[in-house]
Structure 1
Amino acid sequence: MDEIRHDWSREEITAIYQTPLLELILQAADVHRRFHELGEVQISSLISVKTGGCPEDCAYCPQAARYHTDIHVHGMMKVDEVLEKARKAKAAGASRMCLGAAWREVRDNRDFDKVIDMVKAINQEQMEVCCTLGMLNEEQAQRLAEAGLYAYNHNLDTSEENYDKIITTRTYEDRLNTLEHVRKANITVCSGGIIGMGESDEDRIGMLHTLSNLPQHPQSVPVNALVPVKGTPMENQPRVPVQDMVRMVATARIIMPGSVVRLSAGRTEMGLSEQALCFLAGANSIFAGDKLLTTPNPEFNEDMQMFDILGLRPRKAFKERNESEEVSVLPQE
């Protein structure tokens, strides 16, 4: 029986990450076939429900108030606006709607009340709902769970050792605490990171080590390639080579075999064949739609053409939940 481990050492992950690329892809593809349906890809869409003006100093983010970027501050969207966008995304093939707000942390106020209403409304459309709202406490996580939130995104971004070179306005422990609050509320965890921020291979391995040794692996692991934005400290970072993305996807797939690995930011710089390598290496989720919060992303129709060429098909909403319910009602032998 295939074993899902939570005790990976850095040395083991390093050995996997440094495997010759073609062999690594083959190993990851084998794991992927054992744990997932080949060709099935979960499609998420992302809405920025509150844009810009964030007090944090994340060096990659154009929404930080301290950086001079082309991002304009927009207050909270109306629930009806968000619901209409969710319906359009569902019609285009998305099974999950992610709601992002440029907050340092969730506060118990009218804006959070609006997010709760958004979650409830999108749930009525039979879509999974994910939020990325910054830090939150146990009570706030429980409130989101009661509203029907399916997933909460809170990326680690990089390794603990490299973290303060990227962000100084919160700690690595803050991020891990938020993930713990999400788990306790029985909301699925979405957590990954960004490569291309000047980190070393050891930093990438360190981040994967932390994720793979959590009490539960994140149900979704986004792998982002930095999209440099003018006005941020990362504006001059070079493009991430596709082989680096493939290595990250493949290593994540091998050490977190049951997780959905999402090919996230940076896809606009990748051609069809480059994305195909990532799918072969174990990626089985994408963000679709023309924007990822504030950075460009391929449009839905481009992705559907890619799905057609590669023989991919969208995953249905709530598949994990439905499968677990089916198992629970099987007769006892």
Structure 2
Amino acid sequence: MIQIRHDWTKEEISEIYYTPLLDLIYQAATIHRENKDYSEVQISSLISVKTGGCPEDCAYCPQAARYNTGVNVHAILPKEEVIAAAEKAKAGGASRLCMGAAWREVRDNRDFDKVLEMVTAVNGLGMEVCCTLGMLTENQAQRLADAGLYAYNHNLDTSEDDYKRIITTRTYDDRLDTIKNVRKAKISVCSGGIIGLGEREEDRIAMLKTLANMPQHPESVPVNALVPVQGTPLADQPRVSVWDMVRMIATARIIMPKTVVRLSAGRTEMSTVEQALCFMAGANSIFAGEKLLTTPNPSFDTDMAMFELLGLTPRKAFKNGRPQQIPVIEEETIVA
């Protein structure tokens, strides 16, 4: 019997993380298969509704205004263009559309009003809508919820101790406060991190501990491999090993058994065999479509061919109901 917990110690998570790899994959796969729909994979599509010019100094991000990365600044997209992108993504198999804007925080202005209109319109297509717009107040989170937002992405990126090395223009508590505001509005939480930033393995473990010990586990935890971009401070970081990705995914699956664990950025560098290992270890979500904001990503056709080969099926939208209908599952136990 595996109980969903919120009191993990760093030592316990370390013991899981450093388990011999084949044993770790087996343990994670066993937990994953206790859920009857283990072969279902949520497909999300991510588009940039406002690109570049961000005042933040995130060391990995090509959209930061202070770095010369060749990313052009674009004003917020017309609603019709976003709807067209959503329809294309839905036709390709996506059940969720995530809209990203290169903002430090949401401001109560006409651009935010436009995003609210986009949320309502895409929700009307029968797709789950996710946004990643930077920091949110409690009132702004509620406005997004009222517009029909399903999920909000706000990654922790790395551990609290390592955070200032990567970002100085906001604090770790700022991140956590936004997640709290999202929870208060009954929007599902999407929060994970990036590996390959030059962090220590201890930082990866500490980040997972923060996520797993939240009062309610994030409904979605993206595991991103850094995609180095010329012009950013992390441009020369080496490619993340697939084994590091597998360890992160498997550990997340074991300590957050009901969470959707997303194999996110970095998939273009991974073979089908490497991705299959990640699915075996407990990943059950991907981003599909040619771009993740400004970086390359496999096409829908490529992913559908992989799904057919591996026997995976796309998860339908609103599998667990609308956000306000999603039950709190943290007190449940999963019976082996």
Q: What interval of TM-score do these two structures reach, taking the shorter chain for normalisation?
A: over 0.9
Q: 3-state SS of the aligned residue for 2:321?
A: helix
Deviation per residue, 1:127-179 (Å, 9 max, x gap): 00000000000000000000000000000000000000000000000000000
Structure 1 match to 2:235: 235
Distance 1:320 1:260 in 2: 12
Structure 2 match to 1:331: none
Deviation per residue, 1:290-326 (Å, 9 max, x gap): 0000011000000000001000000000001179979
Structure 1 match to 2:312: 312
Aligned pairs for 1:1-333 (under 5 A) are 2-35=2-35, 37-321=37-321
Structure 2-normalised TM-score? 0.96
Distance 1:39-1:65 versus aligned 2 partners, 3 A rule:
same
Deviation per residue, 1:33-62 (Å, 9 max, x gap): 113512100000001000000000000000
The gaps in structure 2 that reach 5 residues or longer are 328-336
Distance 1:199 1:192 in 2: 15
Distance 2:2 2:194 in 1: 29
Distance 1:74 1:299 in 2: 23
Quote how far apart the aligned CAs of 1:273 are. Answer: 0.3
Q: Is the 8 A contact 2:223 2:249 kept in 1?
A: yes
Distance 1:92 1:36 in 2: 25
State the AA in 2 paired with 1:84.
A
Q: Is the 8 A contact 2:150 2:322 kept in 1?
A: no
Distance 1:293-1:322 versus aligned 2 partners, 3 A rule:
closer
Distance 2:322 2:30 in 1: 25
Distance 2:296 2:244 in 1: 20
Distance 1:206-1:82 versus aligned 2 partners, 3 A rule:
same
Distance 1:323-1:265 versus aligned 2 partners, 3 A rule:
closer
Runs of 4+ in 1 over 6 A off after TM superposition: 322-327
State the AA in 1 paired with 2:309.
I
Q: Is the 8 A contact 2:50 2:75 kept in 1?
A: yes
Distance 1:324 1:312 in 2: 28
Q: 3-state SS of the aligned residue for 2:286?
A: strand
Distance 1:36 1:4 in 2: 17
Distance 2:258 2:142 in 1: 25
Moved more, 28-37 or 18-27: 28-37
Distance 1:159 1:283 in 2: 21
Distance 2:297 2:323 in 1: 31
State the AA in 2 paired with 1:18.
Y
Distance 1:153 1:90 in 2: 20
Distance 1:323-1:48 versus aligned 2 partners, 3 A rule:
closer
Identity %: 72
Distance 1:185-1:322 versus aligned 2 partners, 3 A rule:
closer
Distance 1:92-1:106 versus aligned 2 partners, 3 A rule:
same
Please tell me the root mean square deviation across aligned C-alpha atoms, in Å.
1.5
Q: Is the 8 A contact 2:221 2:259 kept in 1?
A: yes
Q: 3-state SS of the aligned residue for 2:3?
A: coil
Distance 1:126 1:324 in 2: 16
Distance 1:281 1:94 in 2: 22
Structure 1-normalised TM-score? 0.96
Quote how far apart the aligned CAs of 1:2 are. Answer: 3.8
Name the count of aligned residue pairs.
Answer: 328
Structure 1 match to 2:334: none
Distance 2:179 2:319 in 1: 22
Structure 2 match to 1:330: none
State the AA in 2 paired with 1:306.
M
